[in-house]
Amino acid sequence: MSARPDLIGQVSILETLLKTTAVPRYATSPFCGNDNASSLPNNVFGYGRINALAAVNAAIALPVELVAFSAEAEGHELVHAGDVEFVRRSGGGAGDERHACWCG
């Protein structure tokens, strides 16, 4: 969750990330319930083994929705490209992403 704190509470997105990045594991005979050799998910291994690194990388790759914007002028008017800076914070300031934009 530290890689994408904005996904906290987004259960359906997190479930999809875990399911789609899992390493598939298939059940063998004797099968449980209606499972067969190609059932995924299955009653023995579910969707497979969780691949945490792949899930984090997939989460990082998801688009970020801008829900609020504010700008501060430090003693000058915002009239030139680069005067506005978007900062995507990531826990403790390490790895902050900074993006300048045109404000004209």
**Using one digit for the tens of pLDDT, what is the confidence trace for 1-52?**
899 998 999 999 999 999 999 999 998 888 888 899 999 999 999 999 999 9
Token reading at 75: 């003693």
pTM over 0.75: no
Contacts of 40-47 with C-beta under 8 Å, sequence gap 24+, read 46/22, 47/18, 47/19, 47/22
85 bridge partner residues? 100
Phi/psi-derived region of residue 44, left when phi > 0, alpha when psi is between -120 and 50, beta in every other case? alpha
